[in-house]
Structure 1
């Protein structure tokens, strides 16, 4: 006979704990023996700094949050957005069987430790794909057409007509756009750009080339993409060991009239090499929503450049992306209990772990 279980949700300044709790109550309902909620970091400014540190160094750098210490000992499911789920957290939650994050990346989860303990890790693939893909297209236009610079000029009393790229301000029609990464976000960018009548190149070694061709794009190697594209838009995950996807070599391949767009991860780009390329106008410009330091340090050289558009890591923060995330997470977890295959599991090998199988048999209807 199925039994109930306790769920602990830990929110933050981006998605509050009560939003997670409401979603858990709505979706898991009668399966709940208990439901506790708390906050990891409720101040937006501090959240940016702490989440970035965790993404760079892993969840083990953080101490166990007090709400986990007080409410986690008898909880079997832990869910949140950016809350660090380290081996120390797992030690503090001896009954934990599912750890879920309402985001695509699992940088804030020690997946290896979870796997060793028979804990299934859920993530939400594509939860902000619409938002980020919209933003990426917007940045292409904002940077190449000088939208933000013109706005700033007017606000500061200058009716500006001359820009760094004045001799080759482009239209999108007929241009070549290179997408590095063709997952949820990259494929949506391709779809949204189709109406602009562009040529699409894609570099993604994990995606079937036939699927890329079916989307109206051409699969190519990385060097070809950087060499031939008028816009290069990044939609990849961080490389193992912190290796840079875009460094001096890749920037040297780009046309002097080309633009680099990054709405993915700051760690994909060698920032010093990019600053040099922009200063020396080896490329036309760049648009960045992610940065090695957030907020950007006041003395950063990138702030002095006139051929870069900078935004404050807001590509994925639409109302829809945030409000739907907890429901997507708990909806996917609920699939386990009804015999359906979940969509987002970071360590599927745990499904065969005898400890997890025994637990699932107890709670499954």
Structure 2
């Protein structure tokens, strides 16, 4: 019989703690004697503000969650979504061996500290991939076909027929779409676009040309993608290396009839370069679901432009993406404990930690 342990689940306004608790009961009941359940931030607006700051600056900017301070002493596993797990947090979790977040991003977890302390970290890759890939294509169509602008005009008493791109409103068939970043989301976008009969270019220096070709796409360098694409859609993770990946130079390579779509991270684009290109109509338009400051400031120049479609960071938010992710996380942890291949381990070097090995053996007995 396995050793029973205490676990803690901390949800928020996006995925409440009770949903993590249900998933834990479904998959980990054989290993758990107590589930401590709570929430980090229950106000939606506050959550968006706080999580964005954590994504920019790391978990160290937040105070340790009170529930962790109060009840973390005997917790072996901690699960959540956006809950900040800083270096100091580990001081209140002396027995923790597994930490899991039901998202792909790890900005809210100090993974380096976890690794040094022999704590195995899990995340969930692709939890919202279907949602984001759907949304990216939706934004592409909305921008080039003026769907949102026509809706807004009708709601305000106008029957609008003339738009910034009226001289070259495109059909997708026969066009070239450039995909930057060819992880799970980028590949789904490519797959879904195949039905539109478009030529698909891919730039991702971390994916082999063979893999890209196997998906029916054409591997190219960055310059070629910007020069030849009618649409460019971003699906890369934001790192120090690719910050401002789309800058003044890259935009200068684009066709004047081309569009750029961003459902990834705002920092991939040089804000000033993009605004200038839109103002001068250097490019046809843009569609953005992510911003350099959220909510977008009321004095932002983007609000004055007629060739940009804006949405409020909605791409990954569907019922399925939210309800699915805690179960994906708990299921993967269960597989790991039971000796099966786990998909979502972030720091596998911890598996060689002697203390961790001893703990895992105790759990399995």
TM-score tier (shorter): over 0.9
Unaligned runs of 5+ in 1: none
Report deviation, 1:311: 0.4
**Map of 1:124 onto structure 2:** 124
**Map of 2:159 onto structure 1:** 159
**Map of 1:254 onto structure 2:** 254
Report deviation, 1:240: 2.0
**Map of 1:217 onto structure 2:** 217
Secondary structure of the residue that 1:170 maps to in structure 2?
coil
**Map of 1:106 onto structure 2:** 106
**Map of 1:264 onto structure 2:** 264
Work out the CA distance in 1 between the residues paired with 2:205 and 2:312: 30
Whether 1:182 and 2:187 are equivalent positions in the alignment is: no
**Map of 1:338 onto structure 2:** 338
Q: Is the 8 A contact 1:239 1:245 kept in 2?
A: no
1:125-181 per-position Cα deviation (integer Å, ceiling 9, x unaligned): 001000000000000000000000000000001100010000000000000000001
Secondary structure of the residue that 2:179 maps to in structure 1?
strand
Report deviation, 1:230: 0.4
- Aligned 1:1-365 pairs, distance under 5 A: 2-240=2-240, 243-365=243-365
Equivalenced residue count is: 365
1:44-67 per-position Cα deviation (integer Å, ceiling 9, x unaligned): 000010000000000111000111
Moved over 3 A (4+): none
1:15-66 per-position Cα deviation (integer Å, ceiling 9, x unaligned): 0000001110111012102101111110000001000000000011100011
1:257-311 per-position Cα deviation (integer Å, ceiling 9, x unaligned): 0000000011111111111110011110000001111110101111111000000
Unaligned runs of 5+ in 2: none
Report deviation, 1:242: 7.0
Q: Is the 8 A contact 1:7 1:77 kept in 2?
A: yes
Work out the CA distance in 2 between the residues paired with 1:89 and 1:5: 19
Work out the CA distance in 1 between the residues paired with 2:232 and 2:189: 12
Q: Is the 8 A contact 1:336 1:364 kept in 2?
A: no
Report deviation, 1:92: 1.0
Give me the TM-score of the superposition, normalised by structure 2.
0.98
1:94-153 per-position Cα deviation (integer Å, ceiling 9, x unaligned): 111111000011111111111111111100000100000000000000000000000000
Work out the CA distance in 2 between the residues paired with 1:364 and 1:119: 17
Work out the CA distance in 1 between the residues paired with 2:299 and 2:7: 45
Report deviation, 1:247: 1.0
Give the direction of change, closer, same or farther, for the CA distance of 1:338–1:18 in structure 2 (3 Å limit): same
Give me the TM-score of the superposition, normalised by structure 1.
0.98
Secondary structure of the residue that 2:25 maps to in structure 1?
helix
Work out the CA distance in 1 between the residues paired with 2:97 and 2:239: 28
Q: In terms of mean alpha carbon deviation, does 135-144 or 71-80 score higher?
A: 71-80
Q: Is the 8 A contact 1:100 1:121 kept in 2?
A: yes
